[in-house]
Amino acid sequence: MCGITGVIYRDGRRPPPELIRKMANTIAHRGPDGEGVHVFDGGGLGHRRLAILDLTPDGAQPMAAANGTVWVVFNGEIYNFQELRSELEGLGHRFHSRSDTEVILEAWLEWGERSIQKLDGMFAIALWDARSRQLVLARDRTGKKPLYVYEDAEKLVFGSEIKAILAHPNVNTREWPEAAAQFLSHGYVPTPHTFYAQIRKVKPSCFEVLEAGKRETREHQYWEFPLGPERRVKTEDDWREVEHEVRRLFFAAVKQRMVADVPIGAFLSGGIDSSLVVAAMAMQSSRPIKTFSIGFEGAADFDETKYARMVADRYGTDHTEFRVKAEAFDLAEKLAWHFDEPFGDSSCIPTYIVSKLTREAGCPVALTGDGGDEAFAGYPRFSAAAAAEQIPELARKLVHRVTSAVAERPGDRHLWWRTHRFVNRATLPLPARLQSWVTLYGPQELEQRAGLAITPSSSSLGARYRDLFQKAATLSADTLNQVLFVNARTYLLDDLNVKVDRAAMAASLECRSPFLDTTLLEFAFSLPAHAKLIRSNRKRLLKRAFSDLLVPEATYRPKMGFGVPMDAWLSDRAHPTRGRAIERWADLQLSRWADTRSSSRSYPFPPSHKPEGSEPH
């Protein structure tokens, strides 16, 4: 895991090494173990290293292919690099390191653009091919690793984080007019946009190619979630087959992610997903696994530590627990610098704390349960979406008319409020319904807010959801797989993945997610709805296939999620009094952005908010 950055000039000029080094050092927290710069006629590449594989100088970046014609900087891990290396050696390639980075280079020399589809992992890659004078920017399938791009008539600038781009002295920082409203609707600015009009995100499952001297990049999508008619799962033989296969794929995914030359730990919440990751790690390790969890003082509804201890005891892990106090809210200022733009998920605070705890315990790598909900239908909104589709439209409208006469009672975890919200959105079309369940502010609320430069129409705010649902429906996916697909290309991509990457990398920690393994995801999407959930029985397949590994007390309980007690944390602070805590958090994020954005040319937040040791030098 590392940080990458660079620039390509369309007129072929060579940038000064000091500029590339300055850009790279803005993201030093992503790679505290070393730095590297390579400049050439037409551009330069910069790298900050977090050494995980091949800790010797042979694994340093920027790295060149043996013939010196191709250079790469790379952030992430290629989990099938050993298989690809063996295949390339059979084709005559020779390797000088034990790193996965060199495999990327040799694969490019052998297969060109087709090599990207062969890579299985989490990655953001910038590759310069001097033979064709092309820059290739590639991003992994689910968007685990970030990659931002700025373009104008003169140059292309890229980086793992926006701050690396802003460190270039000639970047237009004009704000995208729709950014604030999009953020207040979604809790993030949807891909490919950012808060900056000329800075975009490389899309997941895609790579871009820029030929030096040309004005435009060309984009290619190399993978998509498999959607279509689902496999048959009806008889006991069918069930035994899928249970065996999901176990085989999951254990293989965990084993791949345990490959490292440094100690590895695991986040453990006590939920199904993290419990299974820890179980699979323990069963494939000769030493006790280090596990980490956190709880919240004075907030029992948000505390899962007792369940985590049950799992840790069962698998004999070396377990560490941390108690978070309300003062942790003060980390919001520090994390604002790391996220570069407003971010609506307040659980970035505990994610950073558990990441810091893990790193300080001597583990630069941690496995997580992220992706289990997304692949195997773990969120209540998934069962709600499926249930609403089964209710006749006339009945939905009748119940809606009754409940509309009763005011909502805000509170994320309040049963009446959740029921009220479900019923009142159930009459909407499926795309609008799913979006409404995850929206912070609706179109009417946005119109009432003062100070927004532009308020997109309801049609604009829902365009991404409608387009994705239309694509899934065209491929004959069932309702649940349509919902899972849309969720993966919205919430997973722009919320969960961003939260984990920024919060963990702020602590110089690499997080790996077995449930986001490509083969496992493809298998999960091949299954019909009833294999993953039936009524309120979510993650049905995981509970059946891994019943011998799960702790019943931790498994069969209401889902808590990785939330934080924001109501309590905000109660004694200056903040807007209306709405839910999540909305107030979003308001605070946007206010901070507005107040501080103009205070620094090179950073979106003032220097006083920058974490110690991360300033350029």
Torsion sign over Cα 294, 297, 301, 305: positive
CA angle 246, 248, 250 (to 5 degrees): 65
3-state SS assignment for residue 365: strand
Q: Which residues contact 87 (CB under 8 A, 6 or more apart)?
A: none
Residue 74's DSSP bridge partners are 125
First CA to last CA across the chain, in angstroms? 21
Given strand 134-139, what is the order of strands in its sheet? 63-64, 70-78, 121-129, 134-139, 206-211, 218-221
H helix count then E strand count, the chain:
27, 17
At 331, list the tokens.
Answer: 């980390």
The amino acid at residue 86 is S
Backbone angles phi, psi at 110, to 5 degrees: -85, -45
Alpha-carbon distances, residue 232 vs 47, 245, 472, 540 (angstroms): 48, 14, 19, 16
Return the C-alpha torsion angle 390, 391, 392, 394, nearest 10: -160
The rounded distance, in Å, linking the Cα atoms of 412 and 572 is 20
The rounded distance, in Å, linking the Cα atoms of 383 and 434 is 11
The DSSP secondary-structure symbol of 202 reads P
Please say whether the beta carbons of 194 and 174 come within 8 A: no
Annotated active-site residue 511? The verdict is no
The DSSP secondary-structure symbol of 315 reads T
At 558, list the tokens.
Answer: 């209401």
Backbone angles phi, psi at 400, to 5 degrees: -60, -40
The rounded distance, in Å, linking the Cα atoms of 304 and 560 is 8
The rounded distance, in Å, linking the Cα atoms of 309 and 521 is 29
Q: Which residues contact 85 (CB under 8 A, 6 or more apart)?
A: 95, 103, 106
Catalytic residue among 2, 206, 348, 511: 2
β-pairing, 264-267 vs 365-367, is parallel
The rounded distance, in Å, linking the Cα atoms of 367 and 376 is 18
Catalytic residues: 2
